[in-house]
C-alpha cells in the first residue's frame, strides 16, 4: 500500500477519501503526520486554495499529497458564498453562523438552485494535477438532518427529498462533490 497525505484536519473528509482510495492507498491525515499548524487558505479561487495547501504540505514532507477546497455556489447570490464559504459569516464564524447567514440572504429568494464544487490538487512526484467534482441541488428553507458537517443541513441534492445531513455518510459519499473529484483522482492514480 502506498502512502498518500491528505492535507486536511477534517476526519470526516479523511474517512470519505479512505472509502474511495482505501484499497491501494493508505490515506494519512495531517494528524497522522503529527502536523498541527493551521493551513493558509486565502486565495481567490478554489484551485488557488487547494494548491496553497497541497504545496505547503509537499514542501514540508516531500511526499505525494493532495488537498481539496470546496465552495457552495448559490445561483440567486451570484455564486456566493463560493470560495468564501468557510468564512461567510465573518471572522469568528462557525458552520451554524454561516448557515444562518445563508438562510437570511435566501429568505425572499424563489430561485434556490445551488451547487457544491470541489477542486482537488494532487502533487505526485513534484507534478501538480487538478480534479473537479460538482453536485447540483437546492438550498432548503430551514436546516434538517444531523449527519455530515458544514452546510449539509441546508443543501438538498437534486433527486433527493432530504438534505445532505439527512443522508447516511455512505449515501452522501456515493454522490458528493468531493467523492466525484476523489473518484477522478483515483482513476488517474490507477
Ligand atoms: P473546505 O474546503 O473544507 O475549506 O470547506 C469550505 C467550506 O465549505 C466550509 O465552510 C465547509 O464547512 C464547507 N464544506 C466543505 N465540504 C462540505 C460538505 O461536504 N458539506 C457541507 N459543507 C461543506
Rounded CA-CA distance 189/168 in Å is 27
Phi-psi region of 34 (alpha: psi -120 to 50; beta: other; left: phi over 0): left
Of 176, 185, 184, the residue nearest 12 (C-alpha): 176
Alpha helices by DSSP H, listed for the chain, are 11-21, 46-61, 95-105, 169-175, 177-189
Model confidence at 163, pLDDT cuts 50, 70, 90, reads very high
Of 86, 94, 101, the residue nearest 40 (C-alpha): 86
Note the pLDDT of residue 46: 98
pTM of structure: 0.94
Rounded CA-CA distance 88/30 in Å is 25
Task: Indicate which residue's Cα is closest to atom 12 of ligand 1.
Answer: 150
Number of domains, the chain: 1
Q: pLDDT (tens digit, 9 = 90+) per residue, 36-91?
A: 998 999 999 999 999 999 999 999 999 999 999 999 999 999 999 999 999 999 98
* β-strand pairing of 155-157 with 127-139: antiparallel
Q: pLDDT (tens digit, 9 = 90+) per residue, 96-134?
A: 999 999 999 999 999 999 999 999 999 999 999 999 999
Rounded CA-CA distance 152/80 in Å is 16
Note the pLDDT of residue 1: 86
Task: Indicate which residue's Cα is closest to atom 10 of ligand 1.
Answer: 86
Percent over 70 (pLDDT), the chain: 100
Of 188, 15, 154, the residue nearest 77 (C-alpha): 154
Model confidence at 168, pLDDT cuts 50, 70, 90, reads very high
- Give residues (CB < 6 A) around ligand 1: 10, 41, 68-70, 72, 85-86, 95, 98, 148-152, 164, 176, 178
Task: Indicate which residue's Cα is closest to atom 11 of ligand 1.
Answer: 150
Mutate to test the pocket of ligand 1, among 70, 84, 133, 145 (most ligand atoms within 8 A of CB): 70
Asked whether 120 and 130 are in contact (CB, 8 A), the reply is yes
Rounded CA-CA distance 130/144 in Å is 33
Task: Indicate which residue's Cα is closest to atom 16 of ligand 1.
Answer: 70
**Residue 77 structural domain:** 2-189
Q: Which of 42, 69, 136, 152 is catalytic?
A: 69
Q: Is residue 22 scored above 90 in pLDDT?
A: no
Measured in angstroms, how far is the CA atom of residue 60 from the centroid of ligand 1? Answer: 24
Atom of ligand 1 nearest to the CA of 41: 4
Q: Is residue 177 scored above 80 in pLDDT?
A: yes
Q: Is 152 a catalytic residue?
A: no
Of 184, 74, 81, 88, the residue nearest 136 (C-alpha): 74
Measured in angstroms, how far is the CA atom of residue 174 from the centroid of ligand 1? Answer: 17
Mean pLDDT of all residues belonging to the chain? 95
CATH of the domain at 121: 3.90.950.10
Mutate to test the pocket of ligand 1, among 72, 74, 99, 168 (most ligand atoms within 8 A of CB): 72
Amino acid at each position: 500500500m502506498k502512502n498518500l497525505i491528505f492535507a486536511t484536519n477534517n476526519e470526516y473528509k479523511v474517512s470519505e477519501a479512505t472509502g474511495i482510495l482505501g484499497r491501494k492507498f493508505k490515506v494519512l491525515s495531517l494528524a497522522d503526520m503529527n502536523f498541527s499548524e493551521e493551513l493558509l487558505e486565502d486565495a481567490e479561487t478554489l484551485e488557488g486554495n487547494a494548491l496553497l495547501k497541497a504545496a505547503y504540505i509537499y514542501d514540508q514532507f516531500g511526499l505525494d499529497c493532495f488537498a481539496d477546497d470546496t465552495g457552495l455556489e448559490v445561483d440567486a447570490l451570484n455564486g456566493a458564498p463560493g470560495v468564501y464559504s468557510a468564512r461567510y459569516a465573518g471572522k469568528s464564524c462557525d458552520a451554524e453562523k454561516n448557515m444562518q447567514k445563508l438562510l437570511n440572504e435566501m429568505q425572499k429568494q424563489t430561485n434556490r438552485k445551488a451547487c457544491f464544487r470541489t477542486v482537488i490538487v494532487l502533487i505526485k512526484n513534484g507534478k501538480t494535477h487538478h480534479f473537479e467534482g460538482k453536485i447540483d441541488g437546492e438550498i432548503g428553507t430551514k436546516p434538517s438532518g444531523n449527519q455530515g458537517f458544514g452546510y449539509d443541513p441546508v443543501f438538498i441534492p437534486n433527486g433527493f427529498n432530504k438534505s445532505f445531513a439527512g443522508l447516511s455518510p455512505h449515501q452522501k459519499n456515493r454522490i458528493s462533490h468531493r467523492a466525484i473529484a476523489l473518484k477522478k483522482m483515483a482513476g488517474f492514480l490507477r
